[in-house]
Structures are given as C-alpha cells and as structure tokens.
C-alpha cells in the first residue's frame, strides 16, 4: 500500500525513556492499552516503563508479570526498567538476563514510596551494572533531605512555610545528582538523569560529562513550558509533580541546554493519576505527576515553529539520542526505509489546541489546557504497521514487542590512572 505524505515530514518514531503505564497494580490510573494508545497518537513508537508499579519491577517474577500485560495490550514497542533497590541487589543480574532495558534508582521520595537505597547499596549496585553495561536511570533533584523537612512541616500544619520551602529547593536539587555522579565516576556505571528540572544542575552536568562519566540527561516539556508561578492559577495544582516545576527563570537555561547538548533528550514522565487525586484544597495531599506522552511531540514541533530548536535537533532529542543511550540505535532511532520502520509522520503546518478531554490516557487532566501548538503527528508506524492516524488508534492491541538493549560493558576504569593524572611524578605515593 502506498501512503501519500505530500507536504508532511517523516521523523524517526519517538522513544520516550520515561513513562508510568501503571500496570500491574493501578488500572484506575492507566494500563498498557490506554497508555500505549496515548503514545501512538503522540508519534511515540517505543516507551520505557518505570518500575514503581504494584508490585514493583524488582525481580524476574515481577518483570514477567509486567511483560505479560504489556505484550497482550501494548500497540507500541516497550522497554521495561528493573528497580535498583537496597533489597534486590541479588536480582540485578537475573533481571538483565530476563531483558530489562536498564535500571531505575530512586534517590528521592515519589509516587510508590519506594525506599531510597543507602549510598553503600548504590555503590554495590553500580559495580554490578558497570559489569553488565546497562544504564541506570536516576530520580534525583528532590533529595530525601528535603522530604524529611517537608514531612515535619506537613505534620505541623505549616503550609505557609512549606510553600516557601518548595520555592527554595533548587540548591538541594543538585545534591542527589552529584552524589549519583560521584558513585558513577567511581564505578564506571552508565547513568541517565531523569526529569532534569533545574538550571542549577546544568554546570554540574557539564562537569561530570567533561570528566568522562557516561551520563545522559533528559528534561521534560513541562519544565520548558510550565512554571511554578502557573501553579497559583485556578486549577494550577494539577501541575504538582516530582521534582517540582520550578520558577519561570529556569526555562530559558533549560531550552539552551537542550539545544547545545548539555541535555541529551526529551522524555515525558507520563504519570497519570485518577482525576480526583489531582485536585483539592491542600496541594501537599495531591498526587504527583500528570500525563505527557501524547503531547510531547507536538510541543517539540512547536519549538521548531518558534525558532527554538531545529527539526534535526528534535529528531535527535526525541529518538536518536535515547536509542544511542540505551543500546537500540540502528534498530530504532533512525529513519529506515523499509517494511519494519518506526516512523512519526508530522504536519508542521497544522495547528491544534491541546485539551484534557482529547487525551487517550486514562488520567484526563491537561497541564496544557487551551495551549496552541503548531506541528502535530498525523501518522505513526511501529515496525512498518500504522498504529495511529489523525489522533486515533488504528491497530489492534498487542502489536507492541519488548525491546532489549545491546550494550557492550564499558572498559574498566583504573582509579590509579586517575590519581597519576592528578599528581606530579615525585608526589605519587607509589613512586
């Protein structure tokens, strides 16, 4: 069959390395059918699902449980993260053999309340991952230090101080990022910083990359387009998420970092919740996170229309860079002419108005209600099959397949060599 694409642009299908499709365990929020429908309509052909489901993806048994649900319902391809927790260091190798795309480490408290491992456990976990070569995605930027203080203030009913505290988290944000990078530097583990929200982190990211840590970084459309100030508008509480959407002053540095390569890619942190969990009088009691997989591509194409990013850069940050970082490049992340291509066909001249009602996700809240976008995905192909057209799903569920990473372990790093670089010959303790 021939498909006319006159006047349209063909991009590699987007790879979203950060979604929460909530199955198993939370069907009231999302499942693999609704989540993957949202992805397909949004031009996303591969998603990586986070392990904070019920049960968490922390063992081969729990991995198989999620795999079964995803295989039977997803219409887009998917990678599944394994958890790196203090309790399952002994499961990391078997999870790799089972086929995880990488691991997820929570260094801050968030949905699912998975405990943050101690630094020693992370060190041991990273040693195992360095030998495997698989990448570890890390939730940093809302440090347990802050969570401790927040909980005390919440218990004391001090909402006034809580709000003040939230606006001053940007320095604390850097702490967990640097702790993770320090441990990666030590072990040689490959890491990926998820939901980078904070302009303060950018010089540190440049430092760690320059030092040779294999670190990739994602930011999200919500940190680029939305601000803490907007949370004061009626209904603005829906923007509550971890790490918090920060003041508008963070936006320009994040855009610049996305353009210059400090930030490698765009993900969405698609984090649907039941509607009633998202609205209420006390912001601290509301669920954190909101949907995004469906609107990300249109928002990035709007950045092209606005002259912020080139179309080539959008293809890289939505597809090429994630494919390279997680060992899929060639199979994914490129435009392939052939019967098995993952493609997003987009109309750069079409405008649309974003609205919650139009979402395919079960979490129908929109952080972007009424926003005008210019540039929308109009057809999505997963391994050659059309799965979405003009905002509607056109494939049977179950077409999606598990993607497994092809990652050679990094060369072992010799710490003594590093010391030799630093010390003058006469100063070396070993002569």
Q: 32-41 vs 60-73: helix axis angle to the nearest 10?
A: 60
Q: 170-187 vs 144-155: helix axis angle to the nearest 10?
A: 150
The least CB distance from residue 48 to ligand NCD, in Å, is: 12
Which residue's beta carbon is nearest to the bound Zn ion?
Answer: 139
For residue 49, state whether it binds Zn ion (rule: CB under 5 A): no
Q: Which of the residues 94 through 123 are near Zn ion (CB under 5 A)?
A: 110
Report which of 139, 348, 363 is spatially closest to residue 273, judged by C-alpha positions: 363
CA distance linking residue 245 with residue 173, whole number of Å: 12
The least CB distance from residue 333 to Zn ion, in Å, is: 21
Residue 216 interacting partner from ligand NCD, Zn ion, none (CB closer than 5 to 8 Å by kind): none
The least CB distance from residue 205 to ligand NCD, in Å, is: 19
**Among 75-83, 138-146, 176-184, 405-413, which window interacts with Zn ion (CB under 5 A)?**
138-146
Residue 302 interacting partner from ligand NCD, Zn ion, none (CB closer than 5 to 8 Å by kind): none
For residue 249, the 8-state DSSP code is G
The least CB distance from residue 110 to Zn ion, in Å, is: 5
- Pick the binder of Zn ion from 9, 139, 192, 383 (CB under 5 A): 139
Which residues are at the interface with ligand NCD (CB under 6 A)? 20, 52, 110-111, 139, 241-242, 269, 271, 288-289
Residue 362 interacting partner from ligand NCD, Zn ion, none (CB closer than 5 to 8 Å by kind): none
Q: 325 or 346: whose CB is closer to ligand NCD?
A: 325
Q: 19 or 345: whose CB is closer to ligand NCD?
A: 19
The least CB distance from residue 421 to ligand NCD, in Å, is: 37
Q: 184 or 238: whose CB is closer to ligand NCD?
A: 238
Q: 104 or 389: whose CB is closer to ligand NCD?
A: 104
Q: 185 or 269: whose CB is closer to Zn ion?
A: 269
Helix %, strand %, coil % of the chain (to 5): 40, 15, 40
Q: 32 or 381: whose CB is closer to ligand NCD?
A: 32
The least CB distance from residue 57 to ligand NCD, in Å, is: 13
Report which of 299, 294, 220 is spatially closest to residue 257, judged by C-alpha positions: 220
**Among 200-208, 233-241, 268-276, 390-398, which window interacts with Zn ion (CB under 5 A)?**
268-276
Chain center to CA of 201: 17
CA distance linking residue 289 with residue 268, whole number of Å: 10
Q: Which residues lie below 8 Å from residue 288, measured CB to CB, with a gap of 6+?
A: 110, 111, 240, 241, 242, 271
CA dihedral in degrees (244, 100, 273, 147; nearest 10)? -40
The least CB distance from residue 370 to ligand NCD, in Å, is: 23
Please, are residues 37 and 360 in contact by the beta-carbon 8 Å criterion? yes
State the DSSP H helix or E strand holding residue 163, giving kind and residue range, or none if neither: helix 159-166
For residue 269, state whether it binds Zn ion (rule: CB under 5 A): yes
Name 80's bridge partners.
49
The least CB distance from residue 150 to Zn ion, in Å, is: 16
State the DSSP H helix or E strand holding residue 219, giving kind and residue range, or none if neither: strand 215-219
3-state secondary structure of 280: coil
CA distance linking residue 425 with residue 150, whole number of Å: 50
Report which of 147, 102, 153 is spatially closest to residue 126, judged by C-alpha positions: 102
Q: Which residues lie below 8 Å from residue 381, measured CB to CB, with a gap of 6+?
A: 13, 45, 341, 342, 343, 344, 345, 387
For residue 389, state whether it binds Zn ion (rule: CB under 5 A): no
Residue 45 interacting partner from Zn ion, ligand NCD, none (CB closer than 5 to 8 Å by kind): none
The least CB distance from residue 237 to ligand NCD, in Å, is: 13
Residue 241 interacting partner from ligand NCD, Zn ion, none (CB closer than 5 to 8 Å by kind): ligand NCD
**Among 93-101, 118-126, 133-141, 386-394, which window interacts with Zn ion (CB under 5 A)?**
133-141
Interface residue list for Zn ion (CB under 5 A): 110, 139, 269
């Amino acid at each position: 069959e021939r498909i006319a694409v006159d006047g349209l642009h063909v991009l590699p299908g987007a790879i979203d390395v950060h979604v929460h499709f909530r199955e198993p365990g939370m069907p009231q929020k999302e499942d693999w059918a609704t989540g993957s429908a949202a992805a397909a309509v949004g031009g996303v052909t591969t998603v990586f699902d986070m392990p904070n489901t019920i049960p968490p993806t922390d063992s081969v048994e729990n991995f198989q449980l999620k795999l079964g649900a995803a295989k039977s319902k997803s219409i887009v391809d998917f990678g599944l993260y394994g958890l790196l927790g203090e309790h399952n260091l002994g499961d990391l190798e078997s999870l790799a053999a089972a086929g995880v795309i990488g691991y997820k480490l929570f260094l801050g408290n968030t949905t699912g309340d998975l405990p943050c491992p101690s630094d020693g456990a992370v060190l041991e976990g990273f040693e195992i991952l360095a030998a495997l070569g698989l990448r570890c995605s890390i939730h940093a930027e809302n440090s347990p230090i802050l969570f401790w203080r927040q909980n005390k203030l919440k218990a004391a009913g001090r909402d006034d101080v809580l709000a003040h505290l939230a606006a001053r988290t940007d320095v604390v944000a850097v702490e967990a990022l640097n702790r993770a990078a320090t441990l990666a530097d030590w072990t040689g583990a490959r890491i990926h910083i998820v939901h980078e929200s904070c302009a303060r982190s950018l010089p540190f990211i440049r430092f760690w990359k320059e030092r040779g840590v294999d670190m990739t970084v994602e930011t999200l459309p919500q940190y680029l387009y939305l601000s803490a100030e907007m949370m004061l508008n009626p209904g603005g509480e829906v923007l509550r998420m971890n790490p918090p959407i920060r003041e508008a002053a963070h936006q320009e540095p994040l855009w610049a970092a996305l353009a210059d390569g400090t930030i490698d890619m765009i993900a969405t942190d698609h984090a649907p919740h039941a509607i009633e969990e998202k609205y209420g009088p006390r912001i601290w009691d509301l669920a954190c996170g909101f949907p995004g997989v469906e609107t990300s591509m249109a928002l990035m194409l709007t950045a092209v229309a606005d002259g912020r990013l080139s179309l080539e850069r959008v293809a890289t940050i939505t597809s090429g860079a994630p494919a390279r970082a997680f060992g899929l490049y060639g199979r994914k992340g490129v435009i392939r002419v052939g019967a098995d291509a993952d493609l997003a066909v987009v109309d750069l001249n079409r405008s649309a108005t974003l609205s919650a009602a139009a979402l395919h996700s079960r979490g129908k809240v929109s952080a972007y209600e009424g926003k005008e976008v210019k540039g929308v995905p109009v057809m999505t192909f997963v391994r050659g099959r059309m799965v979405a057209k003009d905002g509607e799903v056109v494939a049977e569920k179950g077409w999606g397949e598990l993607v497994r990473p092809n990652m050679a372990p990094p060369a072992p790093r010799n710490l003594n060599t590093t010391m030799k670089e630093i010390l003058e010959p006469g100063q070396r303790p070993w002569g």
